[in-house]
Amino acid sequence: MSDDHKEDPGLSSTGLSRRKFINTTALVGLTLGVAACDKTGAPGAAGEGTAAGAEGCASPTEIKPGELDTYYGLWSGGHNGDMRVLGLPSGREIHRIPCFVPDALVGWGITNESKAVMGTKPDGTPLYQVADTHHTHASYKDGNYDGRYAWINDKINSRIARIRLDYFVCDKITDLPNVQGFHGIFPDKADPVDPNKNYTTRVFCGGEFAIPLPNDGHDVNAPEKYRSLFSCVDAESMEVRWQVLIDGNCDLVATSYDGKLAATNQYNTENAVHYEDMMSAERDACLFFNVARIEQAVKDGKFKTYGTSSVPVVDGTRDGNKDPKTALVAYVSVPKNPHGVNASPDGKYFICAGKLSPTTTTIELSKVLDWFEGKMDKLDDAIVAEVEVGLGPLHTAFDGRGNAYTTLFLDSQVVKWNIEKAIAFHKGDKSAKYVVDRIDVHYQPGHINASQSETKAADGKYLAVGCKFSKDRFLPVGPLHPENEQLIDISGDKMVLLADHPVRGEPHDFIIFKRDIVTPKQVYNLDDSPIAVKDAKDSGVFRDGNKVTVKLTSQAPAFSLREFTVKKGDVVTLILTNLDKVEDLTHGFALPKYNIQFVINPQETKSVTFVADKPGVFWAYCSTFCHALHLEMRTRMIVEA
């Protein structure tokens, strides 16, 4: 059926085609936005940021010189293996946080401190040179972000990284055992047992690809024995606390506000190895994990281990969880190959999007808990709405006013729909108009999120959407096009597209939160490093056989040592402390021919270890502009033959 003849359930009975309706409403929305702005550029009754390009109006995404953005955005960096930090609504990229792969700017993967976080091979090089970051989420307290931590996953190598939001740096990386295709993550929002712990203590991780357990060369040609694991990581220690063996795979992850439930949607309950077989079932599942029961089972010793891992693995299979009163895992049936599960800000619902079904499925969490307590016979009765929204629904965001926003990959749209009206429609009230609005995006949207979306403080101001194709939106740069991240105003009844931002592929998920949630430190604490060179007088060359330690400081415009001498074959550890205390007075240290370059922030200490295997004179210089005499800021390393 052509796009112009699809019926929009609950939207319009005017007889207009959907495309014509969309174009009409988009024009109306733009008109409202223009009318809402006066000649001074101030937003009017239509809401902040609704005007776009009216005479006398500033762009709603414009941040004037000297002003700051209202929101932070933490974005996955995709194949760059890092986390991007954006300011919104401007969309300006203000930082990149390296995690899983080396970064030439700051020296991540070069310094000893970063190598200790990343892990290294026996020769001292990083374990991996590639990564694929997908999902980023932050720690909670009282149902809102608390500014302590953020986490991001590496799908390729099944690693999870933690970001300290006081310094915006990665401080820990953990490998998940017996997992491949580590996809979705989500922190818990409270402890399921201790009500005093109303903050994040765990991070849940989904294993997407089923593999033999252990994956040691046995059963490689027996796909029926392949299995997936759902993992729980301790938020503080970053150790893997436990895993759950399940039927089917994991995709994305969500958590309840009371801490009792974690969930993952599944798109391959068939446990197939070829794509055509992964679509054979008309319905897949959303799995709910009873966190308290799982942890009790671990305490009771009801677990196995696999391979060389000592992590306890409990039985979460269908056969092992038939009795609701003892079950660890509940399997709720949802259509078809869903791609996403998201928690509504009111704490009542999880929503799965169908991908190969034009529907979203709304699951009421209290009814899932009723099933676990034996108060409800049919688990599928927890489904309170299953309604059509469009073609290729993937991910869902929320505005805190009862509305959900779902990306439609095949329709290249975002659809806005009302959750309670969808529930009424599902119950039989066909007059309930649950689809509120649609907007075309460019093109094939995937991930979506709104300001404060999956928190109790969802404010319904801005929505961002990541489009996998940009086609004609930007200047052509050859066959590899950028992707397109778009910003949408959702403060009014109609969505209004505000901006396009090209981005290098392939980013995925992100979160948006108010800027006052975090208070980043601008200068390091000198005492944080046990090897800090706290006084320039402590600089020097210290020898222990062929092991040499070089201690020096930087303070614009000079290093504390004008030169230092080592011998060919020495194993050199160079320790550098930046003694400058001025905000933003950063230095760099670049050593030619030795593959050394790193950035050193005010009051920070970093070190590198290398073998002085090339004799001669090597000018180490400050590689970050710091002073009028920046070019003169250097020191000589003399390597004697």
**Domain extent listing, the chain:** 176-388, 526-640
* Contact assessment for residue 343 and residue 255, using Cβ atoms and an 8 Å cutoff: yes
For the record, the structure tokens of 50 come out as 């609704």
pTM: 0.91
Q: What is the mean pLDDT of each run of 10 residues along the chain (641 residues)?
A: 43 39 41 41 36 51 94 96 97 97 96 96 91 97 98 97 98 98 96 93 97 95 96 98 97 97 96 93 96 98 97 97 97 95 98 96 98 95 98 97 98 98 97 98 97 98 97 94 97 97 92 97 96 98 98 97 98 98 96 97 98 97 95 97 91
Distance CA 15, CA 5 (A): 10
DSSP 403: E
Q: Say what the pLDDT of residue 2 is.
A: 39
Q: What is the pLDDT of residue 526?
A: 96
Structure confidence at residue 38 (pLDDT):
42
Q: What is the pLDDT of residue 505?
A: 83
**Measured between alpha carbons, how far is 106 from 274 in angstroms, rounded to an integer?**
42
Our CA angle for 454, 459, 463, nearest 5°, is 75
> Which CATH superfamily groups domain 526-640?
Cupredoxins -  blue copper proteins (2.60.40.420)
Could you confirm whether domain 176-388 is CATH 3.40.50.150?
no
* Nearest alpha carbon to residue 470 among 435, 507, 428: 507
The whole-angstrom separation of Cα 352 and Cα 350 is 7
Tokens (6 digits) for 523 = 């200068």
- Rounded Cα–Cα distance for residues 236 and 226 (Å): 31
| DSSP per position, 408-446 | ETTTTEEEEEEHHHHHHHHHT-TT---EEEEEE-SS-EE
Q: Which of 171, 172, 184 is nearest to 286 (CA)?
A: 184
